[in-house]
Structure 1
Amino acid sequence: MLVSFVITWQEIEEKIDTTLKSVLDQTDNDYEIILISDKMLEDNEEFIVLRKYFWDINRIKTVVNSSIQGASVCWNTAIDLAEGQYIKFITQGDTINPNFVKTLKEELQKYDDEELDIIEYNIQLNGLSDKTIDTYLQKGKVYNLNRDYEPYAHISATLSNKIFRTNLLKEFGFKFRRFVRFDMLFTYKVLGQTDSYVFLDTKEPLESMYLGKVSYSVFDLVNQWTHILNYYRRIGKFKDLKDYLNYAYYKTLIHIWLWNIRKYDNKLLIKKAATFASRKFEDKREDFMKNNKAYLETNDVRFKEIVQGFSSYIKELMKLAR
């Protein structure tokens, strides 16, 4: 079996049907679905929905939690149950291209059965943004992370556009932290034990992801970086990867995160975020510009503009907080 799709079911809404249908409409059936109900089933309507997917479709494994456990526990359960060569986590409400499995299979054939540990691909955002998540890496190139460090700097800040080799997760016992929204921590921990990485060179996005306001602290996205950097110190790789990890951290902090904060249209939040980012980066900026290898090599023009004109960038952001 090629891929295990993981879907956590937390609300009985139309969007769970939309997400499941996008998987069940695949043009290639070389997959399974692990559907985890992270809630108490309290009425007949919920049982009807669950029975519909449990009894009628053989490729679905259904797990019913006795109480709400949170997404992290659900994802960890799915890792243990997954039988696919690769595992893909899908957020409720997101949808995948009907040719997702077919395209993945065709792409993998290009690499002569080479074992790929992490695969990324383009996704289309909707909701707060209509941008497409793309990459500054060379598409279609297999990066050997023992010598090619660029993916550490340029891997995207979302879990949604990633496929992980299942046996790698099981071999190292990788798990999500309970009650903590640390998607990037999980990704970077896996990346630290990865030999091969590729960003697929596909003609169209393979997934549509809803970008909305989070129901938890928006500071979680940047606060996790303390844990990421400490993880690489613990495994003895920080010295070699320092520039690439710091590049990813600062890009997340002053570019991706602040771009996201602007979408909230919350003056107090914008002010707090801009002040936080300025405090974390301003004193490091000159050294970063002069000496960071990943920054000196990057083709990300917008990020360079932000770094070079950082004071003006923060002032413009602060205007939105007035």
Structure 2
Amino acid sequence: MPFISVVIPVYNVKNYLKRCVDSLLNQKYNDYEIILVDDGSTDGSGELCDLIAKKNLNIMAIHKKNGGLASARNYGLDYVKGKYVTFVDSDDWVTDDYFAFIDEHLRKYNSEIFKFGYQRVQNGELRSITIPYFKEGKYDRKRIESDILPGTVGPICLFDYSRSALMSACVCAYSVEFLNSNGIRFQSEREILSEDHLFNYKVLLRAKSAEISHKILYMYDFREGSLTKRYISNMVERKQNLLRAYKEELEKSNLFKKYEDVYYSQCVDGYYACITNECSQWGELEGEKDTERVANILNLPECCNAIKKCKKNNLKFKGRIIYWLMKNRQAKLICFLYKKVKIMECKE
């Protein structure tokens, strides 16, 4: 039985897959398996998976109909044989000491979840480094609830994105026995937003042990081609599904009352993300239409309730402005200011 299983979802990434797999194969470590999950690729990626698996005994290629990232990861989880599992996206890669570092720490502490950092790469150039803002070290259940969960259930400081709880599944290693015994799987991103966040939410609400490291082990290939961010359709509905799922998980764990104010901060932050999604439209949807859509979000009873109940005593200056605009439902002003700021950022 391998110590570490790596699940790699594959969908139309023929030009990037070999780089990803080679970053794992070219390490001085042998106690692993790689599971390539072809999620109905149409560009030859599936055939490439088979070719790679044929040449490497510790690689398995499996195929399924297209179902999305969460579906592919879940499918791969059904095949893992390792004691621990990690997830690597097929257009990203890992550092040379990825396996050795994870192995050393998991064997030492036997944690149910191990978090580490990543570096963004854009157009071939190394960019920002992101690490979990929690202190490095081992956490028992008591410290998970006191130190980690408050910044996981919701932001420590609303609208402040300088510190990250790092909820991506790609920067964690998980005990397979723990995941299976608790029935933890990914929920489809086609139903909710932030499927990684909900997955880790479930993990941390149940985990009795965790370890945090600030070591950079993952390289995230960030590709973005224009001024406008990609518009997310049905975002409000999917975000509300996610927020409801968060609350259900908290209630199952009898922790809702304990983290109620930070949960509502998460809600406010979620609705603000929906607002910026609408503000990001440039072209035929801009103008009065985006103001109307933003106003619809601000008028949602769930949004109004979250604004009332969220944690707001530690807001920074920018946060106070955003909070005031949302509380007073200043849709037109929000759209105007958001676009002005984005235009200025793109000119810098």
For Structure 1 versus Structure 2, the TM-score category normalised by the shorter chain is: 0.7 to 0.9
For residue 37 of structure 1, report the CA deviation from its aligned partner: 1.2
- The match for 1:173 is 183
Q: What's the counterpart of residue 150 of structure 1?
A: 147
| Equivalent position of 2:31 in the other structure | 30
* Shift of residue 11, structure 1, vs aligned partner: 1.0
Distance 1:34 1:274, change over 3 A: farther
In 2, distance between residues paired with 1:38 and 1:281?
36
1:86 lines up with 2:87 in the alignment:
no
Asked if the contact 1:80–1:170 (Cα under 8 Å) also holds between the matched residues in 2, the reply is no
Q: Which residue of 2 aligns with 1:138?
A: 135
Aligned-pair distance for 1:126? Answer: 3.8
SS of corresponding position for 1:142: strand
- The residue that corresponds to 1:119 in the other structure is 114
Which residue does the alignment assign to 1:300? Answer: none
Look up the match of 1:299.
none
Pair 1:229-2:247 in alignment = yes
Report the TM-score, using the length of structure 2 for normalisation: 0.71
Counterpart selection for 1:242 from 242, 260, 277: 260
Aligned residue pairs: how many?
Answer: 303
Tell me the amino acid that sits aligned with residue 318 of structure 1: F
Q: Is the aligned partner of 1:288 residue 2:302?
A: no
- Counterpart amino acid of residue 26 in structure 1: Q
Could you tell me which residue of structure 1 aligns to residue 218 of structure 2?
A: 206
Which residue does the alignment assign to 1:19? Answer: 20
CA change 1:24–1:221 in 2 (3 A) is farther
Residues 20 and 136 of structure 1, relative CA distance in 2, 3 Å threshold: same
Question: Does 2:277 correspond to 1:276?
Answer: no
Cα distance, 1:69–1:320 mapped onto 2, change above 3 Å? closer
**2:206 alignment counterpart:** 193
Provide the secondary structure at the position in 2 that maps to 1:225.
helix
Map of 1:4 onto structure 2: 5
**CA distance change for structure 1 residues 284 and 222 in 2, over 3 Å: closer, same or farther?**
closer
Distance 2:144 2:250 in 1: 16
Matched to 2:9, the amino acid is T
How much does 1:115 deviate? 2.8
Quote the residue 2:55 is aligned against: 56
Q: Deviations over 1:234-271 (max 9, x none)?
A: 343212232443444445554xx479859966475886
Deviations 1:96-154 (A, max 9, x none): 11211112123345xxx333122221112245994332333112242525763332233
Residue 285 (structure 1) shift: 4.8
- Cα distance, 1:80–1:205 mapped onto 2, change above 3 Å: closer
3-state SS of paired residue (1:35): strand
C-alpha separation between the residues in 2 aligned to 1:97 and 1:259? 36
**For 1:6, what is the secondary structure of its paired residue?**
strand
TM-superposed CA distance for 1:36, in Å, is 1.0
Deviation at 1:205, TM superposition (A): 4.8
The answer on whether the counterparts of 1:160 and 1:209 sit within 8 Å (CA) in structure 2 is no
Amino acid at match of 2:186: F
* AA partner of residue 23 (structure 1): L
Q: 1:27 to 1:308 in 2, by over 3 A?
A: farther
Task: Note the C-alpha offset of 1:195.
Answer: 1.3
TM-score (ref. length: structure 1) = 0.76
Q: Deviations over 1:182-207 (max 9, x none)?
A: 222222122221112222132x4533
Cα offset for 1:86? Answer: 1.7
Structure 1 residue ranges without an equivalent (≥5): 297-302
TM-aligned CA deviation for residue 233 of structure 1? 1.7
SS in 1 for 2:318: helix
